[in-house]
Structures are given as C-alpha cells and as structure tokens.
Amino acid sequence: MNRFKADLLAQIQRRGDGVRGRVLVACSGGGDSVALLVLLWELRKSLDLELSVAHADHDLRAESPQDADLVRQLCRMLDLDLAEATLGVRAHAADRKIGLEMSARELRWDWLREEAHQAGASAVATGHTLDDHTETVLLRLARGGGLGSLHPLPPRQGSRWSPLIQTRRAELRAFLNSRQVPWREDASNAEPFTARNRWRPILDQVRLEAPELDRHLFETHLQAAEAEAMARTLVAGWEGSRWNLEGEALSLRCEAWTEPELRWTLEMAFRRLDWPREAAALRDLAPWLQQRLARRGKPGSWGDFQLNPEPSGRYLHLTRRPRPSRSE
C-alpha cells in the first residue's frame, strides 16, 4: 500500500467513522467522486466494505451523457453494481421556486437515500474534500456565523459519509493520474454564478502564499470544536440554577454574569428557542443584559428583546419588532 492510501486509511480509522458493510458510492464522474470510488475499492478489504455505485444525471448540461458513460465504464472495470437516474431538476426548481443548485441537491439526496435503503447500505459515500471544507467555512464566516463557522465538516452526517474530508483535490487528481484513471471536469464549477465558485479562485491565490492553509484550518477547527464542547457542557450544567427555559421565555436567575458566560448561555438557549442568534447581535446584547441583571431595575427593551423582572427571576422575551432599535 502506497503512502497516500495508507494516510487516508489512517485518517478514517483515527476518526472512527464507523462505516462497515454495504456502502453506496455517489459518483458523478468528476475527479473527486471518481477518486473516491477507486480509493474505496482499493481499501475495501481493509475497511470491511461492500460497494455499489449510484450516478444521478441532473439533465442540466449537454455533456451529462458522457459523464454517465464514464461512470458505467468504471463500474464495469471494477465489477460493481450501478444504479442510475435522470432527475427533473428544472421542473422541481420551478415547482418549488428555488434555484437549480438547491433543486439538484434535494432531488439527488432524496434519490440517494432511497437507493441506499433499497441496497441495504449503511451509508452514502460522497467526494467532499478538504477544499470543500475550507470553502464552506469561509461561506459561513461571510454570513456572520461566528464560532459556529469553525465547526469542521463532519465525516458522518446522517447517512452521508465523506471519507475524503481531510484530503486535497490536487492530491486526488495526482492519484488518478498515477493510476491512469480518467475523469470529467464539470465546467460549471468555474462559472461565477454561486458564491462557492467565486471563492475558489480567491483561495487558489491565497494557497500560493500559504500552501498548508487547508490543513492548518482543519486542525484549528478541531481545536475550536473541542473548546466549544467544553463550554457547552459548562453552560448546560448551569441550567436549572442560573438559567432555564419557561415556555417561550428565557429565565435568568442569577445577577452575577460575565459577558462571555451570558453569550454562551444566550447562544444555547436561543438555539433551543429557535430565536435569532447571529454572533454580532449576541455580542451586543450580552453587555446590555449584564448591566440590567446587575441593577435589578425595571423592565427594559433592547432591539427585539424585552427583559421583565419577576419574583422567580428575569424573563427575556422575543418581541419580534419589525425594525430593531436599541432603547431603554
């Protein structure tokens, strides 16, 4: 076994992905998914896997029949069963009034889950890479996701399994070239009609200066996830003594809060209440609350929130005003 495959096998085993038995491999014909299929086939005995393949034609590009033909040839070469489907992406997008990308994702995953069920597969393997991880993090940060943006993309998410999540795209293509395995590039990935596509050339320039950016970022995210898990455990332990949820309100039973304690508590409580929890808003709300709680004063409002003192504690309510404004 060469170094590249040995490293991939070690990553999967170290993470404890927990995938065994029948796996349905989603293969579009692109470099990532073709490399995924070949690598899993070569590692199938070490990972105790039985593979079958699924290819979805979104019927959006004139080249899609050639993509399907490449996947068929690959499956014949590897002696693997192949399930195929043509998805009505345009009609679904028009019916749901959503974009083509979201429409394709919805239909593809509905079909893949059904095929996995029919095949008795425990997981659907996808070709998400370390590059995808970096792109996703930057997209989340650009939307103001705060610390939540630093969550590493999980290798397991429901039925989805992404064994290549710590592997660079360039490494996968080098592997395919070394095996003389062809693949087809989707030209639409280079068109700037999605935010992800617009980020890619920017990141390519950044990587010229910082070639290890993706790996360093992933390790940072693992550390951030560990720190966040510890903080959440601490905040959860305060429930019932320092804070509690009562109906559609947050009860704060302690006057002595630090701003970080309040921010973490608000984030956990707001998540469960399904209230807006944009990081910058919580950073502004926390000091206002800290002052109000310490003063034990009269009711007050901040933006969409109302704080009411009651005998059993201070109750924070979401008023959902149309135009938030900071006031007393």
Which residue ranges make up each domain of the chain?
A: 3-212, 239-318
Q: How far is CA 266 from CA 6, 154, 166, 271, 296, in A?
A: 44, 25, 32, 8, 19
Give the orientation angle of helix 169-179 with respect to helix 31-47, to 10 degrees: 80
Asked if residue 259 lies in contact with residue 282, where contact means CB atoms within 8 angstroms, the answer is no
The span from the CA of 189 to the CA of 212, in Å, is 23
Pairing relationship of beta strands 249-252 and 313-318 according to DSSP bridges: antiparallel
- Domain 3-212: assigned CATH number: 3.40.50.620
pLDDT of the residue at 323: 46
The neighbour count for residue 181, using CB atoms within 10 Å, is 17
The span from the CA of 176 to the CA of 143, in Å, is 35
The neighbour count for residue 120, using CB atoms within 10 Å, is 11
pLDDT of the residue at 62: 84
pLDDT of the residue at 310: 82
The span from the CA of 112 to the CA of 127, in Å, is 14
Q: How far is CA 216 from CA 60, 131, 134, 212, in A?
A: 36, 12, 10, 6
| Reported pTM | 0.77
Q: Indicate the length of the chain as a whole number.
A: 328
Chunked mean pLDDT (size 10), the chain, 328 residues: 91 92 96 97 96 93 91 97 93 90 91 95 96 89 75 85 96 96 82 82 92 92 88 95 93 88 94 88 91 82 89 83 40
Residue listed under structure tokens 């393949």: 53
Tokens, residue 89: 């992406």
The neighbour count for residue 73, using CB atoms within 10 Å, is 12
Tokens, residue 253: 């039973």
The span from the CA of 74 to the CA of 176, in Å, is 12
pLDDT of the residue at 194: 80
Beta bridge partners of 318: 305
Per the rule left: phi > 0, alpha: psi between -120 and 50, beta: everything else, 230 is: alpha
Pairing relationship of beta strands 156-157 and 160-161 according to DSSP bridges: antiparallel
Tokens, residue 74: 């690959």
Q: Could you give the angle at the alpha carbon of 160 between the alpha carbons of 30 and 131, nearest 5°?
A: 50
Q: How far is CA 111 from the centre of its chain?
A: 20
The span from the CA of 299 to the CA of 305, in Å, is 11
The span from the CA of 46 to the CA of 97, in Å, is 45
The neighbour count for residue 72, using CB atoms within 10 Å, is 15
Tokens, residue 59: 């019927």
pLDDT of the residue at 186: 76
